[in-house]
Amino acid sequence: MIVSVTMLCIITLYQILSGRVSDIINHTLVIFKITTLLIISIIGIVKLGINHDHWNSIFDAPFDFGAYGSGLIKVLLTYEGWNNVNYLIEEFKPRSDNLEYPSVILKYSSLISVGITFLLCFFSNAAFITVVGYNVTDTPIPMRFGKELFGETGEILMSILVAISSFGCISALIFTYSRVIKYAAETGFMPRRISSWFTSYRKRSDTLCNQLSAQFFYCLILSFIFLIKTKYNISDNISDYFADASQYSAMIYHGASAYCLYILKKKLKNTNPRIFSIPIYMIIIYLIIIILIVFALFFPPGNGNLHYMIPYCISWTAGILGIIIWWIRDRKRSEVSNCEKNRTEESIGNKPSLRI
């Protein structure tokens, strides 16, 4: 608990102090993570000729719908930070010789980064299975991988590597979602009384100070909820707790975004069929996958209980509150708009007609 809050505080502080320092740290962590996964993948390929028997029972495990959804949530967390360049597009300055430069980045960067992530994760997980096999234990598989290769030293080394990787993931998420907060404030998705706090950069350091601070306090609240869970022996795995709470919210957000994109495609297909380049069937497939993941988590895994749903309940509570706030604000806007329309019509009707 203390370590996690300290790490959150460190990440938030250096991102508030300097955007350049934040970029350098994030890029360094990305290079480190790619190099580590490449080494693990190469080890797996080398070991495949010796330990190929470990693959024999990989598909013999019974189907567990709840465990499948929970596993997908943790897998999708791996891609966070790699596929979020669209939130940073306004920070790219167009070049004088190519005004479409930011759009080119947006078009290809996400595809390339997600593709690289998929290949690295695929081969590194294959390496884990090749070296340690498929046996469910309380020890995380990366630590077992290190111990199998180098003994206790390898286990400690893998623990350090996982910690650094997690630090990089959280840093990228905090960097990205501070931009989401700014965009939400600018586009009217926040109450007017507080939106003005989150629409600008800090003048002295040109960083998103208020947005980052708000994120930190939100994570701090989640940490205290986890502390209560631990006190009553509901859960003792803080990594699972934060992964589930953050990624499940992201799944709901992505699902809502996909649905809105589908509506826009349907409404604008007659005016401009190429308003969005993605085919509509791809949106439908993506939306179906999101729905399956969201509802799979309502079924506890075979080795779990209903307590594991607490992070998901937090996500649904936040989502429902957001919908209620949006509905109230949208209703008020409609009432104001109707009043202004009626006043305009009355003023036009009261004007004396000109006679010739």
Say if 352 falls within a structural domain.
no
Helix (H) or strand (E) holding 203: none
User: Which range marks the domain in which residue 160 is found?
Assistant: 2-329
CB atoms within 10 A of CB 69: 21
Reply yes or no on whether the pLDDT at 233 is more than 60: no
How many residues in total does the chain contain?
356
Q: Which residues have a Cβ under 8 Å from the Cβ of 290 and sit 6 or more positions away?
A: 251, 254, 255, 258
**Considering the entire predicted model, what is its pTM?**
0.70
Q: How confident is the model at residue 356 (pLDDT cuts 50, 70, 90)?
A: very low
pLDDT tens-place string over residues 128-184 = 888 887 766 667 788 888 888 888 888 888 888 888 887 887 888 888 888 888 888
Say if 345 falls within a structural domain.
no
Contact present, 246 and 54 (Cβ < 8 Å):
no
CB atoms within 10 A of CB 327: 10
Report the C-alpha gap between 147 and 141 in whole angstroms.
10
Say if 334 falls within a structural domain.
no
Query: Where do the H-state alpha helices sit in the chain?
Result: 2-17, 19-48, 65-77, 101-132, 141-150, 152-186, 192-195, 209-231, 238-268, 280-296, 310-350
- Alpha-carbon radius of gyration of the chain: 25
pLDDT given at position 87: 59
Say if 208 falls within a structural domain.
yes
How many angstroms separate the most distant Cα atoms in the chain?
Answer: 102
Say if 242 falls within a structural domain.
yes
Task: Please state the domain count of the chain.
Answer: 1
Q: Which residues have a Cβ under 8 Å from the Cβ of 183 and sit 6 or more positions away?
A: 87
Say if 335 falls within a structural domain.
no
Helix (H) or strand (E) holding 298: none
Say if 131 falls within a structural domain.
yes
Say if 354 falls within a structural domain.
no
CB atoms within 10 A of CB 144: 19
List the beta bridge partners of residue 250: none
pLDDT tens-place string over residues 268-287 = 776 665 666 778 888 889 88
